[in-house]
Structure 1
Amino acid sequence: MADLASALRRVTYEVLPLGRTEEAVVAHVPHDVPLTISTSHAKGPEPTVDLAVRLAGHGYSVTPHLAARQIRDGTHLSDLVARLHDAGVDKAFVIGGDSPEPAGSFGDALSLLEALDGVGNPFQSIGIAGYPEGHARIPGALLETALERKAPYATHAITQICFDADATIGWARHVKQHGIRLPIRVGLPGVVSRQKLVRISAGLGLGQSARFLLKQQSLFWRFFLPGGYHPGRLAGRLAPHLEQPDAHLEGFHFFTFNEVASTEAWRRSLLARIS
């Protein structure tokens, strides 16, 4: 249990930039839990950056998503980076994004990473996405090539949700065997109800909801299986493999879907029981 307790003391939480996110985070998340702030193509990058600036003002370590296909051009990128820099935000998570068409010249995460590198690497920490079970719309070979090309610009990777611990561990080993030495944080859902997921999906609008369901279909399916989903079981299976030299798995990244109160209460309760 020592490995699980250690992992639970250094988690990161991902939140959605919605109306009451700031209030919920300040009320329930301790300042030693770093936060990642997601984005959606329907609203663009500004709500994500706005929330990052406000939470940084509360003393949190924040990492906003920067989605390449939402950024219009170099000037738009410079403006976003300047706002984050002025707020003391020195981290970013760079993704391609789900927009059907790019807003400008950045069509994928690699092009945005190259642009950031071209202006002097304004972030101390840059995360990229990993896909242990692949991507619904991108062939596996292309994912591997993209990861290899993005890795030199990044400091770490965060996996998308995968309920198969063996698949996550096997993918991490495969990545390292192919020369990618990035530390990997394992993405898994926090304590979130199926009703919450349905409400999130329903509130995104038809097109965005379809993309959300496509990305999270395994999560919805898992919630309707007998016994449902609970983060403790998956975390317990993964914990013994964290910090092992063959995989570079370094910790847990919880997709909270803004259920920060229940996720943090669960984390504290489990730590109290096993510590």
Structure 2
Amino acid sequence: MPSESPAPRRWQALTQALNAVSYEILAFKSTEESVLAHVPRTIALTITTTEAKGLAPTLDLAQRLAGHGYSVAPHLPARLVRDKQQLTDIVAQLRDAGVDGVFVIAGDAAEPAGIFPDALSLLEALDATGHHFRRIGIAGYPEGHGSISQELIDRAIELKSRYATHIVTQLCFDAGTTTAWARRLRERGVGLPIRVGLPGAVTRQKLILISAGLGLGQSARFMKKQQSMLWRFFLPGGYKPDRLVERLAPHIPEPDDNLRGFHFFTFNELLKTESWRRTMLARAGRPAGDPE
């Protein structure tokens, strides 16, 4: 029997990858309505938290979307949590609302609000006090960190991985860099599934805001490191995720890479991002499920 040709395997991998996505959204007043209008309930959501707005809008939106049947994980920045009592209250609040996931990060605050200086300290407190979460995400850095050595970052992920269920990467526009990083992490004994973070179908203006940082995921260090590639945002037609997704998709089924899907930073351009995903799935020969 003839073996399957490379082209069908490639499209099969792309279909698998695009059906294993999650979307990151911002806690704005219009977000709930936009999610209900454009996002299928089969797509998991994370909700960002900013130092300026604090935890309340994120937790409130997470509760409302969970009530609509979405799988939601609010960002929980350690530096915005005062103490163990507040952490216990947050856990109880999310449990009562049926929110079964969180994404734990250090956060961008210059000074901690309380006793948690980093993600690891908060993860340890969660584990010690008990929680109901089935999904706990942590951040990965394929291109490193502007002020922390790669060795320290990798060691931190090793420690945090004991308390987590998956990793979501920060932005990286080079597929080879992402896959090499994932393999190196596996060699260090970190076998958590990895979701590759990349921009959705957003405008070039919003991509530049991503790069500049504004407290919404990427810091200003990204701009300093990636100035040489910003030119692509100004090409005719602007940025599209197609090429990066197609290069990464074949690695999603590969066990040695631990890559298990995509995490799209949508910046609330949900209609554009979901329409793009459906178009890509149609190209691959398999339609997406309709929103409920």
Tell me, yes or no, if the aligned pair for 1:116 and 1:122 is still in contact at 8 Å. Answer: no
Tell me, yes or no, if the aligned pair for 1:96 and 1:107 is still in contact at 8 Å. Answer: yes
Matches within 5 A, 1:156-235: 156-197=166-207, 208=215, 212-215=219-222, 218=226, 221=230, 223-226=232-235, 228-235=238-245
Q: Would you say how many aligned residue pairs link Structure 1 and Structure 2?
A: 272
Matches within 5 A, 1:116-155: 116-155=126-165
Question: For the residues of structure 1 that align with 2:163 and 2:70, how far apart are their CA atoms?
Answer: 24
Question: For the residues of structure 1 that align with 2:178 and 2:213, how far apart are their CA atoms?
Answer: 30
Tell me, yes or no, if the aligned pair for 2:171 and 2:218 is still in contact at 8 Å. Answer: no
2:159 match: secondary structure: helix
Residue 93 (structure 1) aligns with? 103
Q: 1:222 to 1:250 in 2, by over 3 A?
A: farther
Structure number with larger C-alpha Rg:
2
Matches within 5 A, 1:1-275: 1-197=11-207, 208=215, 212-215=219-222, 218=226, 221=230, 223-226=232-235, 228-275=238-285
Question: For the residues of structure 1 that align with 2:272 and 2:180, how far apart are their CA atoms?
Answer: 30
Over aligned residue pairs, what C-alpha RMSD do you find?
A: 2.3
Question: For the residues of structure 2 that align with 1:39 and 1:193, how far apart are their CA atoms?
Answer: 22
Question: For the residues of structure 2 that align with 1:7 and 1:81, how far apart are their CA atoms?
Answer: 31
Question: For the residues of structure 2 that align with 1:193 and 1:80, how far apart are their CA atoms?
Answer: 34
1:224 match: secondary structure: helix
| TM-score scaled by length of structure 1 | 0.92
Gaps of 5+ in 2: 1-10, 286-292
1:149 corresponds to which letter in structure 2? L
Residue 195 of structure 1 and its aligned partner are, at CA, apart by 2.6
Q: 1:48 to 1:170 in 2, by over 3 A?
A: same
Deviations along 1:80-112, one digit per CA (max 9) or x if unpaired, are 111110110111111000000000000000000
Deviations along 1:174-196, one digit per CA (max 9) or x if unpaired, are 00011111111111110000233
Question: For the residues of structure 2 that align with 1:202 and 1:187, how far apart are their CA atoms?
Answer: 16
Deviations along 1:107-141, one digit per CA (max 9) or x if unpaired, are 00000000000112331111100000011222212
Gaps of 5+ in 1: none
Question: For the residues of structure 1 that align with 2:209 and 2:119, how far apart are their CA atoms?
Answer: 29
